Amino acid sequence: MAKEQINLFDGLFSAGYESIYDFQVQTADNRKNLGHDFRTSILTKSLSNALLRNEYIGDFIILLQDVIVKYVDAVTHLKIYKNYTVSKNYTKIR
């Protein structure tokens, strides 16, 4: 029997769900300048490729990348919290 490889990082930092009502509110948004999606490449693009060649360090950097994305998202949540005119579930803020 072939062994199946289990990814240990799947769902490690996920702690939520998306509301079905957010989709209804934001369907009319027609945003043209969405920017770069940094969630998959925030550390891999900013660090040297020599670090990523090592298998263990590469996996550790991918693990840290998820944490740093959470920190960047926390700043977005603080911006929304400060602005009382925006819904707390609004996600399209810079």
Tens digits of per-residue pLDDT, 74-88? 888 888 888 877 777
Task: Please tell me the distance from the alpha carbon of residue 62 to that of residue 91, in angstroms, as a whole number.
Answer: 24
Residue 67 lies in a domain: yes
Asked, for residue 11, whether it belongs to a domain, the answer is no
Has residue 71 been placed in a domain? yes
Cα–Cα dist 36/85, whole Å:
26
Q: What is the largest CA-CA distance in the chain?
A: 58
- Domain assignment present for 75: yes
* Structural domain for 80, as ranges: 52-94
Under the phi-then-psi rule, with left for phi > 0, alpha for psi from -120 to 50, and beta for the rest, what region is 31?
beta
Q: What is the pLDDT of residues 14-44, one digit of tens each?
A: 656 666 666 666 566 676 776 777 788 888 8
Tally Cβ neighbours within 10 Å of residue 59.
Answer: 13
Please tell me the number of Cα atoms within 13 Å of 52 on its side-chain side: 12
| Whole-prediction pTM | 0.56
